[in-house]
């Protein structure tokens, strides 16, 4: 499973990221810029809340009829001359893709950005066969040459600044130009162009698959997806099984919400709707088309209390709003799916073992809920994970004991009453100038960044009771 | 073509969904609202076209206008403006009808994309400085245009050359993608297969992957030009 | 009008002034305030850490406590009100439908104090005076979870002499998040530091909020940075008059 982007333990990752000045500045800039652009687009569209309801309705309908739509989609793709492979596990998916690559005797593969292909660890499997896999999305390409990991689901290299990028280009590709984004981009365009022309196979993800026509909708800006699906003789598309729209009419609503939420644009530069291999007489486009439909834990989610998260259209608006993500960036989460959406799906797709801290790296502020274009109750689902973790005994014993004590006191008014009065007196006696004599546990954690509250020395209830008497 | 593992996959899925497997979806519930279909439909065709051109300019498209009569002349102006050189153009009778195909052929070294040219097509498209295509529709909301692929209309013509010129008639400008979706839906209902590639293009290629700074001209064309034919 | 006061554990233990001023304010507006001593914590520390099931006995105690009368219940913290509003769902999920119904009745009577003053007492100007510049912190629970946005602003805008200043990223969470503040102290610390940076930029005299938990968090950071901004709960502000505190 390839969700993990780091072997470091959570606390260490957070420590490192919080001190990574470049990343922090970059993430703040990303949030502010995309956030402002998103708001402009929300205002421009008008009736935003109604559009969200419409998008939610569409996604819910698809999830409720997922088996039927997958059936219809596969029928259509097949009728159009494409091949469909249903993959329950990541291994099944990568095995199939490897098989096709070997059958085609592929030496070079060009890839456009696809989260699900990262999730299933596809690149490693192909590279192990000696096949060169080129990430052609600019951000992913920059990460690939530097052997780095994505930190955002839409702008994956946001944590790098131009100096770092220039250094990587120079070291890996002999780049001699300046560090202006324009010049570096032009250089990369030339370098990757050759790959497009030479590649045997193009591999893409899929934003939405249209059940009615057996089409794939891809939402892009750079032109790399178009090239990857125009030049090579074979096209393999990989999709998460839930990424379906019934017809193009629903695609319209979904890409409207996706583009405005993800990058603050009405639509991206290219919306490419591909249907099967090339037609008789066409001289570009793939001759052979394969659609790999991936489960990898999604059907389990559909059955669970987390099913609403499958509405996700991977816009990243939740990341761009999250105040916790703002401080630790994608690498802090240690998953290819970071931020609020990652806090929900990383444990689901990748397991609690590796990702149990993520649901706690959240203040439950619900900013994510308010920007999600398909109204996923992310904060509530994050809280649900905490419940699962707490109820299965994965939390520290000290925590469980103190919660037990707290709950006991709270269920017994006489005990609670006494504790509050004593607590108030102790606080008044011992907290001076925002500091306490003991620096352990919660007190130590609180006082890392803050002073303790200035107490008033007497509990409210004592004050109230006393004045009743008088 | 082949479908593998469908039964085990969908049987398991249906089981998890807690009911027998379905092969036909329930009908879509009536939409909670209809903004997608009604937005911008209140504009007249002329208003739509003006908004289309205005927004295309915002999206960094170079927008030129012509009448049916002077389209050929205008196309040559544009080709000159963008450095002439080698051209690639689709074998599209709608371009021929405007005199565009002949005009560029006469002035420039022009490759016409046809099925007969086979492997030559891609080679020429890659060498070409300018590619000329005819759009099925324009889209008011985004200033975008819609291209359908076909044996005489290569995907690469609007992709490989550095400069991409799109000829679009004002009469074909739709409010937004919803209307295009309706057209395709009707085609599908009639049992027609979709074009193998539909592109909705709203500007030159771009990226903001480096420090979120927008750079125009990445893997796709560096410049996008519309020749808008006033046929209203 | 008879009104129950729900003090919240934070106010009860370390910020009784907030409770005090809330009660005095309600009385000033003509309420007879009842404090039912059996009340405890709303259970958030347990619930938001994933121990909702274990917090059920405490939730039952709270429901029972407020069943002795049918007066509205007013609290000076949106997060506690929101927690109680979720009780019916928890009871339902843990198979206690009867309690869910009882909890619903109690939850329906729960109000944040600004919501109560503006929408039940129908008062928008309590006649307070406080001269100076203030930044208002809209807590996540109040604004996003309970949808109470304009009520605190209306009350503050009617305070004579008080100038409300906008700040950058005003709607962003202050970083408290209950146990988040100690379990994820590094992240929480960065969030509150950024919040204080934005507040300081406006150079206010006061930082005002309607949620005692947020205020405790922000005040802690202001104090650590030696900033001279005075942190006040909205109840304290609304009890101010020309001569100073009432």
- Asked if residue C166 and residue C241 are part of one domain, the reply reads yes
Residue ending a domain, choose from C88, C104, C119: C119
Q: How confident is the model at residue C192 (pLDDT cuts 50, 70, 90)?
A: very high
Q: How confident is the model at residue A199 (pLDDT cuts 50, 70, 90)?
A: very high
The alpha carbon of residue C195 is apart from the nearest alpha carbon of chain A, in Å, by 10
Residue range B33-60: mean pLDDT, rounded:
96
Task: Answer yes or no: is pLDDT of C242 > 80.
Answer: no
Q: How confident is the model at residue A459 (pLDDT cuts 50, 70, 90)?
A: very high
Q: How confident is the model at residue A152 (pLDDT cuts 50, 70, 90)?
A: confident
Residue ending a domain, choose from C119, C153, C176: C119
User: What is the number of structural domains in chain C?
Assistant: 2
Task: Report the complex ipTM.
Answer: 0.97
To test the contact with chain C by mutation, choose from A365, A432, A436, A443 the residue with the greatest count of C C-beta atoms within 10 A, namely A365
Task: Answer yes or no: is pLDDT of A191 > 80.
Answer: yes
Q: pLDDT tens, A270-310?
A: 999 999 999 999 999 999 999 999 999 999 999 999 999 99
- Asked if residue C205 and residue C136 are part of one domain, the reply reads yes
- Asked if residue C222 and residue C150 are part of one domain, the reply reads yes
**Residues of A with CB below 8 A from B26's CB?**
61, 64-65, 68
Identify the structural domains of chain B with CATH numbers, from first to last: 42-229 (3.40.50.10420)
Task: Answer yes or no: is pLDDT of A265 > 60.
Answer: yes
Residue range B52-71: mean pLDDT, rounded:
96
**Residues of C with CB below 8 A from A364's CB?**
48, 140, 177-178, 180
Query: Do A66 and B17 meet the contact criterion of CB atoms below 8 Å apart?
Result: yes
Q: pLDDT tens, C47-64?
A: 999 999 999 999 999 999
Chains in contact with C, where contact requires at least 3 CB pairs less than 8 Å apart: A
Average of per-residue pLDDT values in chain C: 96
- Asked if residue C94 and residue C142 are part of one domain, the reply reads no
- Asked if residue C111 and residue C136 are part of one domain, the reply reads no
Which of A105, A101, A154 has its CA nearest to residue A123?
A101
Q: What is the pLDDT of residue C110?
A: 98
- Asked if residue C209 and residue C179 are part of one domain, the reply reads yes
Q: What is the pLDDT of residue A469?
A: 78
The alpha carbon of residue A237 is apart from the nearest alpha carbon of chain B, in Å, by 14
Residue of chain C nearest A419, judged by CA positions: C13
The alpha carbon of residue B68 is apart from the nearest alpha carbon of chain A, in Å, by 28
Nearest to A57 among B31, B142, B198 (CB): B31
- Asked if residue C133 and residue C88 are part of one domain, the reply reads no
Interface contact flag, C37 A465, Cβ < 8 Å: yes
Nearest to A451 among C53, C186, C220 (CB): C220
Interface contact flag, B36 A53, Cβ < 8 Å: no
Residue of chain A nearest C34, judged by CA positions: A464
CATH number at residue C202: 3.40.50
Task: Answer yes or no: is pLDDT of C246 > 60.
Answer: no
> What are the DSSP calls for chain B, one per residue?
--EESHHHHHHHHHHHHTS---SSPPPPPPPS--HHHHTTTTS-HHHHHHHHHHHHHHTTEEEEEE-TTTHHHHHHHHHHHTT-SEEEEE--HHHHHTTHHHHHHHHSEEEEE-GGGTHHHHHHHHH-SEEEEE-SEEETTTTEEEEE-BTTB-GGGGTSSSEEEEEEEGGGEESSHHHHHHHHHHHHHTTPPPPSEEEEE-SS-EE-TTTT--EE-SSS-SEEEEEEE---
Percent of chain A residues past pLDDT 90, beyond the cut: 91
Q: What are phi and psi of C50, to 5 degrees?
A: 100, 10
Q: What are phi and psi of A204, to 5 degrees?
A: -130, 170
Q: Report domain extents, chain A.
A: 50-161+199-299, 398-469
The CATH number, out of the four listed (3.40.1010.20, 3.10.20.90, 3.40.50.10420, 3.40.140.10), of the domain defined by the range A50-161+199-299: 3.40.50.10420
**Residues of A with CB below 8 A from B37's CB?**
249
**Residues of A with CB below 8 A from B201's CB?**
269-270
Q: pLDDT tens, A62-82?
A: 999 999 999 999 999 999 999
Task: Answer yes or no: is pLDDT of A254 > 60.
Answer: yes
Beta strands, E only, C73-148:
73-75, 110-112, 129-137
Residue of chain A nearest B140, judged by CA positions: A266
Structural domain harbouring C141? 124-245
């Amino acid at each position: 499973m390839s969700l993990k982007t780091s072997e470091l333990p959570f606390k260490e990752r957070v420590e490192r990221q919080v001190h990574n000045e470049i990343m922090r500045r970059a993430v703040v800039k990303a949030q502010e810029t995309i956030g402002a652009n998103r708001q402009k687009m929300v205002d421009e569209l008008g009736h935003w809340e109604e559009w969200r309801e419409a998008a939610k309705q569409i996604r819910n309908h698809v999830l409720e009829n997922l088996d039927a739509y997958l059936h219809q989609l596969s029928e259509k793709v097949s009728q159009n001359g494409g091949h469909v492979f249903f993959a329950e596990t990541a291994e099944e998916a990568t095995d199939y893709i490897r098989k096709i690559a070997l059958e085609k005797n592929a030496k070079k593969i060009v890839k456009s950005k696809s989260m699900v292909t990262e999730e299933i660890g596809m690149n490693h499997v192909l590279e192990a066969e000696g096949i060169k896999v080129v990430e052609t999305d600019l951000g992913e390409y920059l990460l690939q040459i530097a052997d780095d990991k994505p930190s955002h689901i839409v702008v994956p290299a946001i944590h790098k600044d131009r100096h770092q990028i220039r250094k990587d280009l120079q070291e890996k590709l002999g780049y001699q130009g300046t560090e202006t984004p324009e010049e570096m981009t032009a250089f990369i365009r030339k370098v990757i162009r050759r790959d497009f022309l030479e590649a045997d196979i193009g591999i893409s993800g899929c934003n939405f698959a249209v059940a009615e026509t057996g089409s794939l909708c891809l939402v892009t800006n750079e032109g790399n997806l178009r090239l990857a699906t125009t030049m090579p003789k074979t096209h393999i598309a990989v999709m998460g099984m839930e990424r379906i729209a019934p017809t193009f009419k629903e695609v319209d609503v979904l890409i409207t919400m996706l583009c405005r939420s993800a990058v603050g644009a009405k639509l991206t530069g290219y919306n490419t709707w591909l249907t099967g291999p090339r037609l008789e007489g066409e001289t570009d486009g793939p001759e052979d088309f394969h659609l790999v439909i991936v489960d990898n834990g999604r059907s389990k989610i559909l059955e669970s209390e987390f099913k609403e998260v499958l509405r996700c259209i991977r816009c990243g608006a939740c990341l761009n709003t999250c105040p916790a993500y703002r401080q630790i960036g994608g690498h802090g989460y240690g998953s290819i799916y970071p931020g609020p959406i990652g806090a929900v799906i990383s444990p689901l797709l990748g397991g609690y073992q590796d990702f149990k801290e993520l649901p706690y790296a959240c203040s439950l502020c619900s900013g994510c809920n308010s920007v999600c274009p398909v109204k996923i109750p992310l904060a509530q689902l994050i809280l649900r994970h905490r419940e699962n973790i707490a109820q299965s005994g994965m939390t520290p014993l000290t925590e469980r004991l103190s919660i037990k004590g707290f709950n006991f006191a709270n269920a017994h008014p006489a005990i609670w009453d006494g504790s509050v009065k004593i607590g108030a007196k102790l606080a008044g006696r011992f907290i001076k100038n925002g500091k306490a004599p003991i620096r352990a546990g919660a007190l130590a954690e609180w006082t890392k960044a803050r002073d303790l509250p200035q107490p008033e020395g007497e509990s409210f209830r004592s004050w109230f009771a006393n004045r009743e008497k008088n | 073509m082949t479908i593998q593992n469908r039964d085990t996959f969908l049987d398991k899925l249906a089981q998890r969904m807690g009911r027998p497997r379905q092969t036909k979806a329930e009908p879509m519930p009536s939409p909670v609202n209809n903004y997608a279909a009604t937005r911008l439909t209140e504009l007249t065709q002329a208003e739509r076209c003006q908004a289309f051109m205005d927004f295309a300019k915002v999206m960094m498209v170079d927008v030129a206008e012509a009448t049916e009569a002077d389209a050929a002349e205008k196309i040559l102006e544009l080709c000159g403006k963008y450095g002439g050189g080698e051209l690639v153009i689709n074998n599209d009778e709608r371009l021929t009808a405007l005199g565009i195909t002949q005009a560029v052929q006469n002035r420039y070294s022009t490759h016409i994309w046809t099925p007969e040219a086979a492997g030559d097509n891609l080679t020429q498209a890659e060498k070409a400085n300018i590619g000329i295509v005819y759009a099925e529709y324009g889209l008011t909301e985004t200033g975008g245009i819609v291209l359908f692929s076909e044996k005489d209309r290569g995907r690469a013509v609007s992709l490989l050359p550095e400069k991409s010129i799109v000829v679009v008639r004002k009469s074909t400008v739709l409010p937004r993608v919803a209307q295009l979706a309706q057209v395709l839906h009707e085609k599908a209902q009639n049992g027609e297969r979709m074009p193998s590639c539909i592109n909705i293009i709203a500007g030159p290629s771009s990226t903001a992957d480096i420090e979120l700074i927008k750079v125009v001209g990445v893997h796709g064309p560096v410049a996008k030009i519309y020749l808008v034919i006033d046929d209203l | 009008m008879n009104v129950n006061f729900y003090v919240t554990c934070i106010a009860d233990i370390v910020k009784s002034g907030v409770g005090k001023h809330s009660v005095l304010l309600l009385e000033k507006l003509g309420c007879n305030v009842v404090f039912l001593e059996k009340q405890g914590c709303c259970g958030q520390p347990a619930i938001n850490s994933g121990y909702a099931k274990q917090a059920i006995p405490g939730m039952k105690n709270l429901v029972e406590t407020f069943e002795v009368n049918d007066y509205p219940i007013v609290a000076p913290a949106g997060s506690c009100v929101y927690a109680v509003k979720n009780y019916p769902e928890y009871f339902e999920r843990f198979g206690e439908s009867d309690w869910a119904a009882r909890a619903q009745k109690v939850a329906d009577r729960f109000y944040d104090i600004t919501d109560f003053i503006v929408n039940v007492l129908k008062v928008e100007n309590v006649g307070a005076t406080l001269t100076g510049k203030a930044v208002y912190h809209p807590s996540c629970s109040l604004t996003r979870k309970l949808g109470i946005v304009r009520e605190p602003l209306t009350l503050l805008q009617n305070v004579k002499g008080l100038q409300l200043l906008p700040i950058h990223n005003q709607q962003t969470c202050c970083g408290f998040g209950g146990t988040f503040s100690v379990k994820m102290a590094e992240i929480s610390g960065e969030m509150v530091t950024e919040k204080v940076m934005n507040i300081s930029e406006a150079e206010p005299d006061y930082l005002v909020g309607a949620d005692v938990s947020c205020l405790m968090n922000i005040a802690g950071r202001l104090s650590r940075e030696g900033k001279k901004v005075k942190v006040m709960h909205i109840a304290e502000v609304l009890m101010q008059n020309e001569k100073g505190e009432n």
